[in-house]
Amino acid sequence: MNERRATDSQRSRGKWRRPDKYICATCGREQHFCWTCPCGFMICSDCMEENFWGMTCNGITWTCPDCGAIRGFGND
């Protein structure tokens, strides 16, 4: 009987998975953490702080500039 084994890259790892690298779309630097959107947009904390005025209107959520999705900061 032939058994097919899925490699690590083929296995489903769940809906949410940490990216291999965080690269900020604004400053272009690799970071330890970035705010991320499912569309692939990433922004580091420093750039988020600098652009906070244009990315949120209530301090609870931020809007992805690429796709327009509303994302939470996790401070429910």
Render each residue's pLDDT in the chain as its tens digit; 76 residues.
554 554 444 445 556 677 788 999 999 999 999 999 999 999 999 999 999 999 998 989 999 999 999 999 876 5
pTM above 0.75, yes or no: no
Q: Which of 58, 57, 74, 55 is nearest to 66 (CA)?
A: 55
Predicted local confidence at residue 16, as pLDDT? 62
Cβ neighbours of 62 (radius 10 Å):
22
Q: Domain spans of the chain?
A: 22-72
